[in-house]
Amino acid sequence: MKRNFLSFIILLSFTAVVITSCGDPQFRGFDQTETGLYYKFHNQSNDTIQAKIGDIVTVNMLYKLGDSVMFDSKRIGQELEFPVEPAQFKGDLYEGLLLMSKGDSATFLISADSFYLITARAPQLPDFVDSGSFMTFEIGLKNLMTREEKARQEQERLDQRREQEQIDLQNYLTENNITVEPTSSGLYFIPEKEGVGRKPVKGEMVKIHMTVSLIDGNKIFSTLDRGDPIEYEYGKKFDTDGLDEAVGMLKKGGKAHLIVPSNIAFGAQQRGQVIEPYSTLLYEVELVDIRSKAAYDKDQENKRKQREVSQQKNKNEESAILSKYLKDNGITEKPRESGLIYIEREKGSGPQAVPGANVKVHYTGKLLNGTVFDSSVERGDPFSFPLGQGRVIQGWDEGIALMRQGGKATLIIPSKLAYGERGAGDRIPPFSPLVFDVELIAVE
């Protein structure tokens, strides 16, 4: 390579003979390492520091199978950052990264068999992959850091976040004319409704409605959206220390606006994709009810018995109800071996959904009686998840893997491939077959 010019020339001379003799136009212009990795550099910077195992790389990445682009980081508008790991198989992408320096761009040909079976951990080679074929990876190495450099960068980011939190908090207080003094912990408790009776004591069950937002007003979660309050044992860790403190200051029926700084929220920890380190949170809280733990336990026991009766009834009737649904709706498609019924409504023309791919779907989920229990279409917000990793119900992992981007289908999913004997909350009873109308918007 450019960092050891003599050895590079020797290797180039050897691989050129091998590739030329092969005569396959797919490999034309590529060099090959001793392990079988095909590579072609498009740009080589003057940086002499190559990536090492353990380094953190930031890359633009595109990979495709034949002419089908399977993933392109530019499409999602975000470069990828990940550590360089030991090679998973001879001639894999990690080996290619070890040839690169910051500013380099190159194309690598990677065994499709090994990529899907080892890297993507597919249970078997997908039908659309020919054994012995190669995938094309186009890589632009934008940045390269050691773990120590990455740790220092992260600490600097956290320090900046901590300073910015104080600025944002003071601006919020000023802009909203908030003059209430914080408690000793830093909680700003702003009463909106007094409530009646007494305040809860530790060990009692409290039922609350709450809406949580970032200080910029971006809503994170609300029990009001789902219609059901949350019940938990007061005194036990539930959400944030700030919320727990505030609930103890409310009477039944009382409401309050809370400003919860990060020191009594999640501190330096990031929560999901929304709550960054050192984030002040805003709460709207209502204490709906207080009751004893004994009353709660008795109620839960009664509900458990009712569920058992309902479960047994639903289990006994599921097959008959599903058969009637199919007959009433003129559905003649045969179930797959798993029991899933897949009905293609519109054939997609884009990439095939494969295990390991990140897929984006629009869906509407219904019970067999037509009751809609969830719909990304109504929310106007498609749902994304990694396919084949158990992040969704089994019927989804199986059904969506049969689709191509742009396709539409109906999945009729027996309960054993959905939520089984447990159901899902109050909306999906135990042993409930489900119907999903799905549209595969993107395969990344």
Q: pLDDT by residue (tens digit) across 219-278?
A: 999 999 888 899 999 999 999 999 999 999 999 999 999 999 999 999 999 988 889 999
pLDDT, tens only, 373-418: 999 999 888 999 999 888 999 999 999 999 999 999 999 999 999 9
Q: Look at residue 327 and give its three-state secondary structure.
A: helix
Identify the CA nearest to 140 among candidates 95, 89, 190, 106: 106
- Residue 230 is inside which H or E element, if any? strand 230-233
Nearest to 390 by CA among 170, 192, 121: 121
Query: What does the block give as tokens for 266?
Result: 């999640």
| Cα–Cα dist 37/95, whole Å | 8
- Chain position carrying tokens 């119900």: 393
Whether CATH 3.10.50.40 fits 318-443: yes
User: How distant, in Å, are the alpha carbons of 14, 315, 354, 369, 406 from that of 328?
Assistant: 69, 21, 33, 11, 29
pLDDT at 28: 87
Cα→Cα distances 146→93, 137, 258, Å: 19, 24, 41
Residue 377 CB neighbours (<10 A): 14
Q: Distance from CA of residue 79 to its chain's centroid? A: 17
Two tokens at 61? 């990445």
What is the domain class of 5-145 according to CATH? alpha beta
Q: What is the pTM of this model?
A: 0.59
CATH number for the domain whose boundaries are 171-291 = 3.10.50.40
Q: Do 371 and 321 meet the contact criterion of CB atoms below 8 Å apart?
A: no
pLDDT tens digits for 129-142?
888 899 999 999 99
Q: Quick check: 401 and 353 in contact, CB under 8 A?
A: yes
Residue among 200, 197, 64, 46 at smallest CA distance from 135: 64
Q: How confident is the model at residue 438 (pLDDT cuts 50, 70, 90)?
A: very high
**Which sequence positions are flagged as catalytic?**
363, 373-374, 393, 419, 436
Domain boundaries for CATH 3.10.50.40 within the chain:
5-145, 171-291, 318-443
